[in-house]
Amino acid sequence: MAKIKFTREEALAFHLEPTPGKWEVQATVPMTTQRDLSLAYSPGVAIPCEDIAANPELAYDYTNKGNLVAVISNGTAVLGLGNLGALGSKPVMEGKSVLFKRFADVNSIDIELDTEDPEEFIKAVRLMAPTFGGINLEDIKAPECFIIEQRLKEECDIPVFHDDQHGTAVICAAGLINALHLSGKKIEDVKIVLNGAGAAGIACLELIKSMGAKHDNCIMCDTKGVIYQGRTEGMNQWKSAHAAVTDARTLEDAMKDADVFLGVSAKGAVTQDMVRSMAENPVIFAMANPDPEITPEEAHEVRPDAIVATGRSDYPNQVNNVLGFPYLFRGALDIHARAINDEMKIACAEALAAIAREDVPDEVGLAYGKQLAFGRDYIIPTPFDPRLIHRIPPAVAQAGMDTGAARRPIIDMEAYEETLRGRMDSTAPILRSINNRARQAQARMIFAEGDDPRVLRAAVMYQRNGLGKALVVGREDDVRKKLEEAGLGDAVRELEVVNAGNTPHLETYKDFLYKRLQRRGRDLKDIHRLAARDRHVFASLMLAHGHAEGLVTGATRKSAHVLERINTVFDADAQHGAVGVTALLLKGRIVLISDTLVHEWPESHDLATIAERAAGVARHLGMEPRVAFVSFSTFGYPVSERAQKMHMAPQVLDERGVDFEYEGEMTVDVALNAKAQEAYPFQRLTGPANILVVPARHSASISVKLMQEMAGATVIGPILAGIDQSIQICSTNMTANDILNMAVLAACKVG
């Protein structure tokens, strides 16, 4: 898989636009009338205040405490960057907050404390703890992190969890369960060597020992060598707890005949000779970031029987904390836990390990561009596995209930699992899937409008994100100047600039175009002007001759004009079954609307074709199509000749015998609302529609733009479907990121 690259400018722009930072606060209650204000604030708010004062448990019912986690740091150990201070750590803590939301729908707020004094830090967190349902400590250096966490656990009655310690430990434990399963070894028998006696290393060893590993089978090493009983140099109470009775004094000594190596140290700490000296079927978790102690290639070169995991996403078996902390807190919050104890962590590890041993859902394989199966290269689930949200929190919650950590046990575990499924954003896996499919495809993509800075930025992102080769139609000087103005001067060498002046194929293109257009009133001069001077036509001719795999255009001209130009080269019109499908993404839902591009006033047969094309797009996106033909009437009432064609279209699909759900005609609320559908028990949809076929292009345009402007929906499209080539037409108000999304769709050949 190609490595994702980005520039300093891109990273800064991501944090700057559309608003500074990575999250915002939104109200969950109406705040429009005087009555709303009276209930939300004074005097209505006094009632829950008094109830909570009398019974503090009610804070979980009447405030956001039960779904709110604080991400707290003092910035003394930020990523691998060292002590950047409180403010320097804020982008990381904001990032952690959005991961909580994205993966487990946990609301989170980042707090940066400007102190290196553990006592001050402890006091500050203890005083604010009542606000939250849990506290996630982050990027605090050892040994202060041990003192801070231990004291806060004693002094707070909510979960306090230092993710750098326990998050890594939980995922490491999950991987170890499966690695030992594959190598036929038992945890109580294996010899384990750990290199790196910091926060993560000590937590890993503690958790593994609580799972059954024997104390004297575990050898911990730091920069000064083995931590053995009797050693005095560079010791502290946390290291002393793991001092083993051993003759080994160096990492090299310790690695002889070891079954397991756990590394949370530094790049290159492990040599091939050390790996060679390990026991049969060795397990090597080289988790140093960004570069592992030894790469999987180096380890496998001397030991093909090794099972290797790293902290990196571009190797198999990534030990990634995002598999743990969101779901641990989700389960803990949902039982109003007093703490996250070892049993809850072990339950999390065992649930993760069990998921990896099962068949992998198709959508995960689709997202990663390869079919995954339990084995040496897949011992830990991937972060985008849809099972994580409904499998791990219940296991954590059950362990919390079994050990007395729950204030409010869950009575119906099946119902709880169902609510967890409903918490997840259904759009995220779809977008993830198409991005990964595009990365696998490595399509050469034509960006037709090389004079537009947005298009150029999208082309640079397409190439630097490892999606494929970007071909930009434009003049070299103009492209260079615009890239330099956008702060991307170094990208000139990366992009391929194409035009009529530098292509060897211009005469071939013109011959092809003349054959198509000579009986449509075009002479040779017209043909030259179109092929050599119109970028939409030139780009289409490149695509038609196999000189690229996809085309993105339309960011600078109205879509009707662009479509007319494309039609000089391809049959992309209503007569030939072309259709425009627009995807609306809002609040975790995705709905396709069509036709938004080609058919101005479709009749019933056209509407049936539009439905078929939209269903194809839905399946390309990994959705099971449910089509609703929408109108202002529902199943024939009120009667109107304008709605007649919407009434007839499903009958056309009946005759065609299609293999997807469809129904209509119906109003939009009946189409999208399962409750409203209950009033029509005869209707055939098994849930809310995800494709709306509308009566005409003007109603499609109004619907999409209204949702975009009033509701803030994300719009992807219109996606051009039903032609042989992969062409996507942007709209003129698209950002560079929107144009990149269209290129990704073209690379996946969606439509």
Q: Spell out the domains of the chain, with CATH numbers in brackets.
A: 8-21+30-158 (3.40.50.10380), 185-321 (3.40.50.720), 438-568 (3.40.50.10950), 579-715 (3.40.50.10750)
pLDDT of residue 1: 45
Given a cut of 80, whether residue 432 has pLDDT beyond it is: no
**Residues with Cβ within 8 Å of residue 471, at least 6 apart in sequence:** 444, 445, 446, 447, 495, 496, 498, 542, 548
CA distance 365 to 200: 31
- Residue reference for tokens 């394989």: 365
| Res 290: pLDDT | 83
As a whole number of angstroms, the distance between CA 366 and CA 272 comes to 35
pLDDT, mean over the chain: 92
Q: Is the dihedral of CA 510, 511, 515, 520 positive or negative?
A: positive
Give residue 426's pLDDT: 66
186 included as an active-site residue: no
* C-beta of residue 696 within 8 angstroms of C-beta of residue 704: no
Catalytic residue selected from 90, 96, 185, 645: 96
For 692, the 3-state DSSP assignment is: strand
Q: State the pLDDT confidence band at 663, using cuts at 50, 70 and 90.
A: very high
Range 413-420, long-range pairs (CB < 8 A, 24+ positions): 416/334, 417/390, 417/391, 418/390, 420/330, 420/389, 420/390, 420/393, 420/394
Tell me the per-residue pLDDT of 48-71, one tens digit each, with 9 for 90 and over: 999 999 999 999 999 999 999 999
Adjacency order of strands within the sheet including 626-630: 661-666, 626-630, 691-693, 589-594, 579-586, 714-721
Which whole number is the average pLDDT over 108-133? Answer: 97
pLDDT over 90 (residue 446): yes
Pick the more confident residue, 538 or 571: 538
Q: β-strands 714-721, 579-586: how paired?
A: antiparallel
pLDDT of 2 above 60: no
Q: Taking residues 123-133, what's their average pLDDT?
A: 97
Q: Is the pLDDT at 233 greater than 60, yes or no?
A: yes
How does residue 366 score in pLDDT terms, banded at 50, 70 and 90?
A: low
Residue range 566-591, pLDDT digits in tens: 999 998 787 888 899 999 988 778 99
Instruction: Please state the rounded mean pLDDT for residues 633-640.
Output: 89
The pLDDT value given to residue 548: 96
User: What's the token pair of residue 255?
Assistant: 């690695």
Per-residue pLDDT for 489 more than 90? no
Binding residues for NADP(+): 78-85
38-55: average pLDDT: 94
The string of pLDDT tens digits covering residues 274-307 is 999 999 999 999 999 889 999 999 999 999 999 9
pLDDT over threshold 90, residue 703: yes
Query: Residue 430: what pLDDT?
Result: 74
Q: How far apart are CA 111 and CA 21, in angstroms?
A: 14
pLDDT above 90 (res 251):
yes
Looking at residue 367, its pLDDT comes to 63
The per-residue pLDDT for range 323-334, each reduced to its tens digit, is 999 999 999 999
Q: Which has the minimum average pLDDT: 243-247, 254-258, 708-712, 739-743? A: 708-712
pLDDT of 425 reads 67
pLDDT at 668 over 60: yes
Check whether 3 has a pLDDT greater than 80.
no
Binding site residues for a divalent metal cation, as ranges?
138-139, 164, 289
Per the annotation, binding residues are 78-85, 138-139, 164, 289
